[in-house]
Copies of this chain bind each other. A is one copy, B any other.
Amino acid sequence: MRSPGCPLCESAGGELVATGAHFRLIRADEAGFPAFYRLVWGDHVAEFSDLAADERQHCMEAVAAAERLVREHLSPDKVNLAALGNQVPHLHWHLIARFRWDSHFPSPVWAAAQRPAPADKLAALQARLPALDQALRQRLAF
């Protein structure tokens, strides 16, 4: 079910990392956060509670599987999950690996920056993404 004019119905919304039967995982292009993923539900629904119970379970098991791989590959200090959708009311879960050294920690990524993120840390993180993405692609094909 698609909604005309919805950017997440009409385009991938970022770099496509993995495709499941009912969702896709993309990497967002958010400055300073290389490991910022979004799990986008396939159908156009606005709210998490618009899903049926089995769909919610499917969705959150995908989120949890992605989170586990992010933790295994990147050892973040914290993972942040969020379904906001104020701007694009098409269900998508932000999944963001957070580090004490990142530009906003411990604030949410949407708050004001606290410091510049060190370029060497960002580069080291970026270098780990291809292996993580491959693991996500294999694991999330359900």
Among candidates B46, B53, B60, B78, residue contacting A84 with C-beta atoms closer than 8 Å? B78
The A40-69 residues at the B interface (CB cut-off 8 A) are 46-49, 51, 53, 56-57, 60-61, 63-65, 67-68
Q: Which residues of B contact A61 (CB under 8 A)?
A: 53, 56
Can you list 17 A-B pairs with a CB-CB distance of less than 8 A? A46-B78, A49-B65, A49-B67, A53-B64, A56-B60, A78-B85, A80-B83, A81-B83, A82-B82, A82-B83, A82-B108, A86-B98, A86-B105, A86-B108, A87-B106, A108-B108, A110-B111
The 8 A-B residue pairs with the shortest CB-CB distance, nearest first, are A86-B106, A82-B82, A108-B110, A49-B67, A110-B111, A49-B64, A81-B83, A49-B68
